[in-house]
Structure 1
Amino acid sequence: MKLGAFSVSLSVKDLKASKQFYEKLGFTVLGGGMDKNYLIMKNENALIGLFQGMFEGNIMTFNPGWDENGKDIASFDDIREIQQHLKGEGIETGKEIDPKTSGPASMMITDPDGNVILIDQHR
């Protein structure tokens, strides 16, 4: 199964302070914006999302259809295919994405230890 780009989405208290901290670790802004209350930051192939006031806790994120630069990739598994596979494996996927639709969609699953995983397709 191709899940796409992987990142960790961090719930931060102070976006500016977090940005400055991660810049000291060599991360640069790839997307988002201070005015949007989130930044996507990159250091080589490592991606992190900094989100202020959007959710509690940290989330592992996969983006089907994107590489680690946020660029479209030619071949990927659509989120509806991923949903069907996960359901077949007995994994609860929450609110079902209509399999007759196409394009952007997202779902959240939780691993056995309570870690939240967001699968977020943008195209």
Structure 2
Amino acid sequence: MDLGAFSVSLAVKDIAASRAFYEKLGFVVFGGEVDQNWLIMKSPTAVIGLFQGMFEKNILTFNPGWDGDAQPTGEFADIRSIQKTLKSTGLSFEQEADETGAGPGSCTLLDPDGNVILIDQHV
């Protein structure tokens, strides 16, 4: 199953300190607004989001319909189709996408260790 582009969304305490740290690891700012306490940073092989005060835990994020540069892909599995398939395997969701909707939507579930997994479709 193709869940789309992958990134890790980090709940940070100090966005400036986190930005400086990840820049030393070779990441560059790719998007976001530091004044709004969020940045998306990219290295040649990874994408991370820094989010100060927006959520309590780190989140594994998948973006159906986007590539690693946040650009729309060609065809992709819609969030509602992904959600339906995952539900059919017995997984349960913390938050579900509206199955009657179209376009952007999201759902969240927890892995066995309580890590939040966000599947977030923007297109």
Q: CA deviation at 1:19?
A: 0.5
Unmatched runs of 5 consecutive residues or more in structure 1: none
Q: Which residue of 1 aligns with 2:4?
A: 4
Aligned positions of 1:41-120 closer than 5 A: 41-120=41-120
Residue range with higher mean Cα deviation, 88-97 or 100-109: 88-97
RMSD, aligned CA = 1.0
Determine the C-alpha separation between the residues in 2 that align with 1:104 and 1:54. Answer: 20
In the alignment of these two chains, the number of paired residues is: 123
Task: Find the residue that maps to 2:85 and give its secondary structure.
Answer: helix
Unmatched runs of 5 consecutive residues or more in structure 2: none
Query: Normalized against structure 1, the TM-score is what?
Result: 0.95
Q: What whole-Å deviation, never above 9, does each CA across 1:30-81 have from its counterpart, x for those lacking one?
A: 1111022100100012000000000011110000010111110002111000
Q: What whole-Å deviation, never above 9, does each CA across 1:83-122 have from its counterpart, x for those lacking one?
A: 1001101101234322221111111100111111011111
Query: Normalized against structure 2, the TM-score is what?
Result: 0.95
Q: Which residue of 2 aligns with 1:121?
A: 121
8 Å contact kept, 2:98–2:105: no
8 Å contact kept, 1:2–1:64: yes
8 Å contact kept, 1:86–1:93: no
Give the percent of matched residue pairs that are identical in Structure 1 and Structure 2. Answer: 61
8 Å contact kept, 1:65–1:72: yes
